[in-house]
Structure 1
């Protein structure tokens, strides 16, 4: 994240709880940061929407920093995922910043951006934890974790328990549900009768690969 956007974002945060991620907030951030409007518009052509996205990515960076410092080697993998989601939520300074962001990204014109940001967070979690999947599991892992992260974030916004213990218990339950689903998938895959019935669909899914580094396609098919 560039220094200019960091300055704009720092200046904007005090206004977001009152004015949301809006033109008012963006204009105030420009005025208080000392960044010229023309430069600010060049850096953030969508105004406060770009600042909201930058705020989300700042949280991602803080999460990764904590993951790099944490002692995760002795933890079960499911507990590492839970820790990553918790670290990401704890990167938020003020719940109102998230509420205002969710309001912004619930708008039809900004919903795709909100989806991309959540997907990016979950992709970063998996990559930070060493995921090397290169098949359809690359997609299902991120899709499933997106659901876990989103539902936990919503629960946290309304949680008033001490230390947000209710949220972390909720997170554990959601991850347990995912683990049970993964176990069921493995059993179905190893069942000879079902394997024959699902041979065609499984062969198609087996051709799906994770996106290439160039990033211009959501995946590719092997010939």
Structure 2
């Protein structure tokens, strides 16, 4: 059963106050200082709500984008779309849920070595949200491979979008479609291996090892965990 993540109202208030300054000053200490002053939140409460300052606000902005994506997806008509098109459309909705310049500043922040793991985790969570929305029921190693490949698609799509000057970001939409085709080809290749007796025999040992890999227990994750059956 999936639970709804807690949304810290104080952090959201700080985020709202920070956003007008992010485009100019980035996700730095000065932006956090101004956010505290403009929001009316006490410094003590702000430090408790966002102990890492603007880093926590940048992460909160990413998560807000995920929530907006899910809200938009709930009202979207996907009935005439193929499965792959639904995934691509959801990635597109995720890009439309955020401000490009704010995201650009976030990319600069999370490209720093000490914040890169945080950025990776956030992208993983987005991929996880998309697969869950698509009804993915995998609980074995496929749980990881699907999210890993989609994380790559999402990350590269963001980078392409940031540099896209085509009308209505048409080139970005085409890029997403091409990358989603690659994901589906990978999934099809895995299915081919499973269904082919010769290939199944060839990969019997690694398949036996991978069969012990299980998806994480529960849905409230703060990292990218994995479990092994005993």
TM bucket, shorter chain: over 0.9
Q: Does residue 193 of structure 2 align to residue 188 of structure 1? A: yes
User: Which residue in the other structure is 1:148 paired with?
Assistant: 153
CA distance in 1, matches of 2:177, 2:111: 26
Structure 1 unmatched runs, 5+: none
Candidates 69, 74, 94, aligned match of 1:63: 69
User: Structure 1 residue 207: deviation in Å?
Assistant: 1.5
CA distance in 1, matches of 2:198, 2:138: 26
Moved more, 172-181 or 184-193: 184-193
User: Which residue in the other structure is 1:218 paired with?
Assistant: 225
CA distance in 2, matches of 1:47, 1:128: 31
* SS of equivalent residue, structure 2 residue 122: helix
TM-score by length of 1: 0.95
CA distance in 2, matches of 1:178, 1:215: 24
- In structure 2, the CA distance between the partners of 1:155 and 1:215, relative to structure 1 (3 Å rule), is closer
Q: Does residue 134 of structure 2 align to residue 129 of structure 1? A: yes
Q: Any idea what the Cα deviations from partners look like across 1:91-115, whole Å, max 9, x if unmatched?
A: 112x221111011111111111000
CA distance in 2, matches of 1:195, 1:59: 41
Q: Does residue 32 of structure 2 align to residue 26 of structure 1? A: yes
CA distance in 2, matches of 1:194, 1:128: 32
Moved more, 65-74 or 98-107: 65-74
CA distance in 2, matches of 1:118, 1:126: 13
CA distance in 2, matches of 1:128, 1:155: 24
User: Structure 1 residue 196: deviation in Å?
Assistant: 1.4
Q: Any idea what the Cα deviations from partners look like across 1:60-110, whole Å, max 9, x if unmatched?
A: 0000001111122332111110111001000112x2211110111111111
User: Structure 1 residue 215: deviation in Å?
Assistant: 4.6
Equivalences, count: 222
User: Which residue in the other structure is 1:4 paired with?
Assistant: 10
Moved more, 205-214 or 54-63: 205-214
Q: CA RMSD in A?
A: 1.4
* SS of equivalent residue, structure 1 residue 14: helix
Candidates 103, 109, 112, aligned match of 1:104: 109
User: Which residue in the other structure is 1:207 paired with?
Assistant: 212
CA distance in 2, matches of 1:117, 1:215: 11
Which consecutive segments of 4 or more residues in structure 1 shift more than 4 A? 214-217
TM-score by length of 2: 0.92
User: Which residue in the other structure is 1:41 paired with?
Assistant: 47
Moved more, 65-74 or 40-49: 65-74
CA distance in 2, matches of 1:92, 1:160: 17
Structure 2 unmatched runs, 5+: 1-6
